[in-house]
Amino acid sequence: MKPWIPLFLIALSANSLAAQDRQPPASIARYFTPPEKWQNDQGSFRSPLQFNDGTMVENQTDWKRRRAEIYKQWQDLMGQWPAQIEDQDLEVLESERRENFVQHKVRFRWLPEESTEGYLLIPDGQGERPAVITVFYEPETAIGLGKEGRDFALQLARRGFVVLSIGTTDATAARTYSLYYPSLDDAQVQPLSMLGYAAANAWHALARRPEVDADRIGIVGHSFGGKWAMFASCLFDRFACAAWSDPGIVFDNARNSVNYWEPWYLGYHPKPWRKRGLITDSNPAYGLYPKLMQQGRDLHELHALMAPRPFLVSGGSEDPPQRWQALNHTIAVNRVLGYENRVAMTNRPDHSPNAESNAVIYAFFEHFLMAE
């Protein structure tokens, strides 16, 4: 595998850069431009181009320093990751032939002391191929064994991508949902950040496969998985691009599903946990989340860490067109770096994905990962 060169220092690998120098295909080009109502509207969000001392980023060199500042602040707030697990291979447990690909059930370590099982889908063909990691409550839904419209792994494998599907099966069954390090009773890292860490370890294991081009690995998830994919791709810059399906891309205390305050996301506190639901005087948030509110922080700061890597927001009920106010800040960062067409959003009325919104996700990955 190639040595790790931070992507924010080299923009992107040659394979991905070639795709990004071209205009997006007509089928998805319009999603990279905000509707007229939201063009240049940055809302009340603090610009990620502003340093803590109040000075502004003027050029690419400045952005390297500002990016490091943002990254450090968030890692300090959420808790530092353990050392990443870079030297492991996916252990194949069983295999079966499906359609145009082989499906392997696999095991790997995603936490220092915890392994997980998922599915590796390898399409027919020779040589290194682009790959995508899919994340959800469990790995079966993405391979086509769950709710309709969430079979991202199956659909991407049909299109020639190597895919690794992972999910928090045990935590979902226990209704703790996330990952807790070093333990559920004494988590030292916010659980949503640890999901990002687990996805980084999945990237390392997947990148060692001979069928995979390590420079062309993306990540996608819906809802809970969308939050997971967002934090993973923002915090771990080896993901070449990402698609986030209706996670709630910024804090919104009025939306029950944009619930970053819950203890399995950014509001960890020891059990007994708060009653699930909106923040009220009688049911407040605990842990880090109130501190983030007091500091006026929001997730657009993390979005900016993606630049110049591309990302797509597949918006539904939780991410309406107004979210362009936050996305316009990452567009501004990309322009400082000299890039256009790196931030896209589709919008549908419902939370659930549909055929049209998913088609854009697949075309997005084909453009940024598969185009030569």
Mean pLDDT across 293-317: 99
How confident is the model over 251-266, as a mean pLDDT? 98
Residue 21 has pLDDT above 70, yes or no: no
The reported pLDDT for the residue numbered 6 is: 54
Stated pTM of the model: 0.95
- Higher pLDDT residue, 148 or 108? 108
**Is residue 239 in some structural domain?**
yes
User: Does residue 1 lie in a domain region?
Assistant: no
Decide: helix, strand or coil at residue 28.
coil
Q: What is the pLDDT of residue 364?
A: 98
Domain containing residue 57: 7-370
Place of tokens 């009920």: 317
Select from 330, 305, 335 the least CA-distant residue to 64.
Answer: 305
User: What token pair was written down for 65?
Assistant: 């320093």
161 lies in some domain: yes
CB of 222 closer than 8 Å to CB of 150: yes
Q: Looking at the predicted structure, is the pLDDT value of residue 318 above 80? A: yes
Q: Specify the higher pLDDT residue, 83 or 15.
A: 83
Q: What is the pLDDT of residue 18?
A: 47
pLDDT-derived band at 7 (thresholds 50, 70, 90) equals low
State the average pLDDT over residues 125-138.
98
* Dist. CA 312–CA 244, nearest whole Å: 6
Q: Quick one: CA dihedral 141, 144, 145, 147, positive or negative?
A: positive
Residue 22: pLDDT band with limits 50, 70, 90: confident
Report the interhelical angle of 60-78 vs 224-235 (nearest 10°): 130
Question: Collapsing DSSP states into helix, strand and coil, what is residue 214?
Answer: strand
Q: How many domains does the chain have?
A: 1
Mean pLDDT of the chain: 95
User: Is the confidence at residue 70, as pLDDT, over 60?
Assistant: yes
Burial 320-333 (b: 16+ CB within 10 A, else e): eeebbbbbbbbbbb
What distance in Å separates the CA atoms of residue 178 and residue 351, rounded to the nearest whole number?
21
User: What pairing do the DSSP bridges indicate for beta strands 129-136 and 114-123?
Assistant: unpaired
What is the predicted pLDDT for the residue at 10? 46
The H or E element that residue 103 is part of is strand 101-111
Please check whether residue 34 is in contact with residue 344, taking contact to mean a CB–CB distance below 8 angstroms.
no
Distances from the Cα of 77 to the Cαs of 92, 168, 188, 266, in angstroms? 37, 24, 11, 10
Contact between 98 and 113 (Cβ < 8 Å): no
Q: Which one-letter DSSP state was computed for residue 186?
A: S
> If pLDDT is split at 50, 70 and 90, which confidence band does 5 have?
very low
- Asked if residue 324 has pLDDT above 60, the reply is yes
Six-digit token pair at 348?
């549908």
Is residue 2 in some structural domain? no
Alpha helices in the chain (DSSP H): 7-10, 14-20, 60-78, 152-158, 169-174, 191-207, 224-235, 288-295, 300-304, 324-337, 355-365
Provide the pLDDT for residue 12.
Answer: 41
pLDDT score recorded for residue 246:
99
User: Residue 189 sits in a domain of what CATH number?
Assistant: 3.40.50.1820
The predicted-structure confidence for 177-219, as pLDDT tens digits, reads as follows 999 999 999 999 999 999 999 999 999 999 999 999 999 999 9
- Token pair belonging to 75: 């890692």
Q: How far apart are CA 214 and CA 240, in angstroms?
A: 9
Q: What is the pLDDT of residue 14?
A: 44
- 256 has pLDDT over 80: yes
Given a cut of 50, whether residue 366 has pLDDT beyond it is yes
Mean pLDDT to the nearest integer, 33-43: 97
pLDDT band at 315 (very low <50, low <70, confident <90, very high): very high
Token pair 């088609």 is found at 359
Is the model's pLDDT at 343 over the cut of 80? yes
The C-alpha atoms of residue 51 and residue 361 are separated, in whole angstroms, by 33
pLDDT tens-digit series, residues 167-176: 999 999 999 9
Of residues 263 and 13, more confidently modeled: 263
Residue among 145, 123, 149, 118 nearest 134 (CA): 118
